[in-house]
């Protein structure tokens, strides 16, 4: 019986006491969960895509969920702070109608949505903490609260106007000019720059293998008029133009021309910086560098800069050329 009791006590120490001591050392609860001053804070309407409903949130509280969803909490604090400022600017730019969401109202009248394919990603505190696990959850949540709180109210402006602070996971070594990715007016602050240290990330390089017939099927679903050599599609594919960041801008496939961004979307590639190689068994290897559209701040690059001692201001001014960090504008 004594051995049984001793075993139970030992298990309690291992399962309960030791984790509590570890978490205590991570300084649980030192950062307030709500970073906003309720009386004077700005609120925005958020369309929570998963729940299909519009929720009114304090801006600073909303940002906690954005930073938790958009950037790994293991990243350096200065990188997280840069993400918080960019995310705040993004939300305010849409709440003030400076930047739109296209003709289709996918927000149900809200300022932003939580679909990362359309706006900024967002997750609840409970979801974030479950993803991080027991031993890391409190430490990571406090880290994100700290990043949002220490940048409270800060936004990015170019020529006294809120910018459209686009960002992505990994540029593959060089970010892009906005006009090289999307048709439209060039933005002076969204210019391609070399992005260092990204090769250390798992998001830097990716390879997928496709059967030729599956590529042809996907292309024909996109454009039924396409005519291509079904026995050797590589002979019918020609890259016509690359961007300064080495992404495919224009390509010819059979009898049609296509944007590299469309080809990326059709085959669900991680970026438009891709290389195609014909394998001995007639399958096609597609290797991509980077993850995302490549415009604006590279999150992996931001973390590398932070690791090397750069502040959030230095990070932001590197990826968004000519900007200033200022206080927020009011929403009418």
Q: Which residues of 71-87 are buried (b: 16+ CB within 10 A; e: fewer)?
A: bebebbebbbbbbbbbb
Tell me, yes or no, whether 178 and 58 share the same domain: yes
272 domain-assigned: yes
331 domain-assigned: no
pLDDT, residue 30, reads 35
Tell me, yes or no, whether 150 and 183 share the same domain: yes
33 domain-assigned: no
pLDDT, residue 327, reads 82
pTM, whole model, 2 decimals? 0.87
Tell me, yes or no, whether 271 and 315 share the same domain: no
Question: What is the band of 282 on the pLDDT scale with cuts at 50, 70, 90?
Answer: confident
Tell me, yes or no, whether 193 and 216 share the same domain: no
304 domain-assigned: yes
End-to-end CA distance of the chain: 71
pLDDT at 176 over 90: yes
Q: Which helix (H) or strand (E) holds 34?
A: none
178 domain-assigned: yes
Among the residue ranges 37-51, 194-208, 299-313, the one predicted with the least confidence is: 37-51
Cα 82 to Cα 104: distance, rounded to the nearest angstrom: 30
pLDDT, residue 38, reads 53
Q: What's the domain range around 18?
A: 1-26
How would you classify the pairing of strands 43-48 and 112-113? parallel
Tell me, yes or no, whether 67 and 186 share the same domain: yes
Q: What pLDDT, in 10s, does the model give residues 127-145?
A: 999 999 999 999 999 999 9
31 domain-assigned: no
Which residues of 165-221 form beta strands (DSSP E)? 167-168, 205-210
The pLDDT > 70 percentage for the chain reads 85
Q: Can you tell me the mean pLDDT for 134-157?
A: 97
Q: List the strands of the sheet with 248-253, edge to edge.
A: 237-242, 248-253, 256-259
15 domain-assigned: yes
- Of residues 22 and 212, more confidence is placed in 212
pLDDT, residue 147, reads 98
Tell me, yes or no, whether 177 and 57 share the same domain: yes
pLDDT at 249 over 90: yes
How would you classify the pairing of strands 53-58 and 155-158? unpaired
Question: What is the band of 22 on the pLDDT scale with cuts at 50, 70, 90?
Answer: very low
Tell me, yes or no, whether 70 and 165 share the same domain: yes
Tell me, yes or no, whether 196 and 226 share the same domain: no
56 domain-assigned: yes
What is the tally of structural domains in the chain?
3
Centre a 10 Å sphere on the Cβ of residue 118 and count the other Cβ atoms it contains. Answer: 16
Distances (CA, A) of 307 to 74, 199, 226, 292, 311: 12, 14, 48, 22, 10
pLDDT, residue 21, reads 42
Among the residue ranges 34-43, 47-56, 120-129, the one predicted with the least confidence is: 34-43
The pLDDT > 90 percentage for the chain reads 78
pLDDT, residue 109, reads 87
Cα 154 to Cα 158: distance, rounded to the nearest angstrom: 13
State both tokens at 179: 């006009």
Tell me, yes or no, whether 214 and 184 share the same domain: no
Tell me, yes or no, whether 122 and 237 share the same domain: no
Cα 87 to Cα 158: distance, rounded to the nearest angstrom: 16
Tell me, yes or no, whether 159 and 306 share the same domain: yes
Tell me, yes or no, whether 106 and 180 share the same domain: yes
pLDDT at 20 over 90: no
Cα 7 to Cα 11: distance, rounded to the nearest angstrom: 6
Q: Residues with Cβ < 8 Å from 67, sequence gap 6 or more?
A: 80, 83, 84, 87, 144, 147, 148
Centre a 10 Å sphere on the Cβ of residue 165 and count the other Cβ atoms it contains. Answer: 28
3-state SS, residue 174: strand
């Amino acid at each position: 019986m004594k051995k049984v009791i001793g075993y139970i006590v030992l298990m309690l120490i291992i399962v309960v006491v030791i984790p509590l001591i570890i978490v205590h050392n991570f300084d649980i609860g030192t950062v307030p969960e709500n970073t906003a001053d309720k009386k004077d804070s700005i609120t925005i309407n958020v369309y929570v895509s998963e729940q299909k409903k519009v929720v009114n949130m304090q801006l600073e509280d909303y940002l906690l969920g954005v930073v938790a969803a958009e950037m790994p909490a293991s990243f350096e604090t200065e990188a997280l702070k840069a993400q918080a400022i960019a995310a705040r600017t993004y939300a305010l730019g849409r709440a003030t109608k400076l930047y739109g969401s296209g003709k289709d109202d996918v927000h149900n009248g809200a300022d932003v949505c939580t679909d990362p394919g359309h706006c900024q990603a967002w997750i609840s505190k409970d979801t974030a903490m479950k993803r991080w696990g027991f031993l890391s959850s409190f430490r990571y949540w406090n880290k994100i609260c700290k990043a949002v709180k220490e940048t409270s109210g800060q936004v990015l402006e170019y020529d006294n106007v809120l910018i459209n602070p686009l960002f992505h996971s990994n540029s593959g070594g060089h970010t892009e000019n906005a006009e090289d990715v999307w048709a439209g007016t060039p933005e002076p602050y969204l210019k391609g720059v070399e992005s260092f240290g990204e090769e250390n990330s798992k998001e830097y390089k990716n390879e997928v293998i496709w059967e030729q017939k599956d590529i042809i099927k996907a292309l024909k679903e996109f454009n039924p008029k396409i005519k291509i050599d079904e026995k050797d599609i590589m002979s019918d594919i020609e890259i016509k133009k690359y961007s300064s960041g080495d992404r495919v801008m224009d390509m010819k496939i059979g009898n049609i021309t296509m944007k590299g961004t469309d080809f990326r979307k059709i085959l669900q590639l991680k970026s438009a910086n891709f290389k195609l190689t014909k394998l001995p068994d007639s399958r096609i290897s597609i290797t991509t560098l980077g993850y995302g559209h490549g415009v604006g701040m590279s999150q992996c690059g931001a973390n590398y800069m932070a690791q090397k001692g750069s502040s959030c201001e230095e990070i932001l001014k590197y990826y968004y050329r000519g900007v200033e960090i200022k206080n927020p504008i009011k929403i009418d």
